[in-house]
Amino acid sequence: MFRFDKKQEVFEVGGVKFGGQPGQYPTVLIGTMFYNRHKIVTDEDKGVFDVEAANNLWQGMVDMGEVTGNPIVNQIVGETPEAIKKYIDWFIEVDDKTPFLIDSSAGDVRAAAAEYVTEIGVADRAIYNSINASVHADEIQAIADSDIDSSIVLAFNATDPSVKGKLEILETGGTGQEKGMLEIAKECGITKPLVDVAATPLGAGSGASMRSVIAIKGHFGLPVGGGYHNMASAWDWMKTYKKQFETKEQRQAIYMPTDIGTNLVSQIIGSNFQLFGPIENTDKVFPATAMVDIMLAETAKELGLEIMDEDHPINKLV
């Protein structure tokens, strides 16, 4: 527990603040909806889904955010332009303020979403996910043409997963790109870059992913986060180990501490936002995150820092 010498930027998107010194602001929690094989989706190409179930899932996250004080963001994933537009339409109808990520495995879908949120006037709440080493020229142009000013900037270096490699991909670029990801983001009109450390599996650079939280915040002073739960979900040993337990509930009970634990490790060393995975894990993730936020806030006070959010968990749960 510490404070950075480098000034730490704080960016606000849709009323949610990202960044700052460890403990000053509560950790932002980002849950995913409409992901691949999400059981509430019946047609991922057309964007057909169980609206009531979606409403209940989102309300559950809203409620937990109010209980703990941790800000929330919805990560909206779509497989086609038609689908992601329907998901966005649903979300802005049920929630008129919370920010959301526009995400897809396909660049053309992300580009279509960027155009759409600009068209319907909600680009100020949208966070592009993501600007990365494989981003294509047409996608870059779509972001530049949009009104979006915030994006996840991915520090994934396919040839070098080390801390050095992650810093290089952000500053100078890598395979397929002649410029660093942060420069590309700036040229696209992104004034609020949120750096994703690109969490890699255990044994394949997971330690570097954690170290890069400190390195990136210390070097750039930018908000940093990531989908750390991917470290646990890709752990082959755990996949095998949990199979010996008979019920789904038992297997989940064995697995979830590792899933949540990845977020807590990164959080304690300064991570500002966590893409914690399926929104169904809300009730498990929020209390643990709030607990660590309280520890961080106590330390921040000892280091002479001011707690900058009156709804911080230390003010709500202690």
- For residue range 214-262, what is the model confidence (pLDDT) as tens digits? 999 999 999 999 999 999 999 999 999 999 999 999 999 999 999 999 9
Averaged pLDDT of the chain: 96
DSSP code of residue 136: -
Residues paired with residue 128 on neighbouring β-strands, in sequence order: 102, 151
AA letter at 203: G
Q: What is the pLDDT of residues 104-113, one digit of tens each?
A: 999 999 999 9
Domain ranges of the chain: 10-316
**Is residue 72 helix, strand or coil?**
strand
Calpha distance 182→223 (Å, rounded): 13
Calpha distance 105→121 (Å, rounded): 24
> Is 175's pLDDT higher than 90?
no
**Is residue 260 helix, strand or coil?**
helix
Q: Does residue 222 contact residue 273 with C-beta atoms inside 8 Å?
A: no
> Is 10's pLDDT higher than 90?
yes
> Is 87's pLDDT higher than 80?
yes
For the segment 172-201, the average pLDDT, to the nearest whole number, is: 92
Q: What is the pLDDT of residues 21-38, one digit of tens each?
A: 999 999 999 999 999 999
pLDDT at 1: 73
pLDDT-derived band at 265 (thresholds 50, 70, 90) equals: very high
Architecture of domain 10-316: Alpha-Beta Barrel (3.20)
Residue among 130, 111, 62, 71 nearest 91 (CA): 62
Q: Is the peptide bond before 266 cis (omega within 30 degrees of 0)?
A: no
Q: What is the pLDDT of residues 123-158, one digit of tens each?
A: 999 999 999 999 999 999 999 999 999 999 999 999
For 235, residues 6+ apart whose C-beta sits below 8 A from its C-beta are 201, 202, 258
Number of C-beta neighbours around residue 44 at 10 A: 18
pLDDT at 177: 75
Residue 111, token pair as written in the block = 């580009």
Q: Does residue 92 contact residue 65 with C-beta atoms inside 8 Å?
A: no
Calpha distance 274→104 (Å, rounded): 18
pLDDT-derived band at 280 (thresholds 50, 70, 90) equals: very high
pLDDT at 178: 85
pLDDT-derived band at 208 (thresholds 50, 70, 90) equals: very high
Using CA atoms, how far residue 209 sits from 58, 194, 296, in Å, is: 29, 15, 20
For the segment 45-69, the average pLDDT, to the nearest whole number, is: 98
pLDDT at 124: 98
Say what the pTM is.
0.97
Q: Which residue has the tokens 């040993």?
A: 237
For 16-149, where are the alpha helices, taking DSSP H only? 51-68, 81-94, 107-119, 137-145
Give the CA dihedral 39, 43, 47, 53, nearest 10 degrees. Answer: -30
Residue 208, token pair as written in the block = 């570097």
Number of C-beta neighbours around residue 68 at 10 A: 26
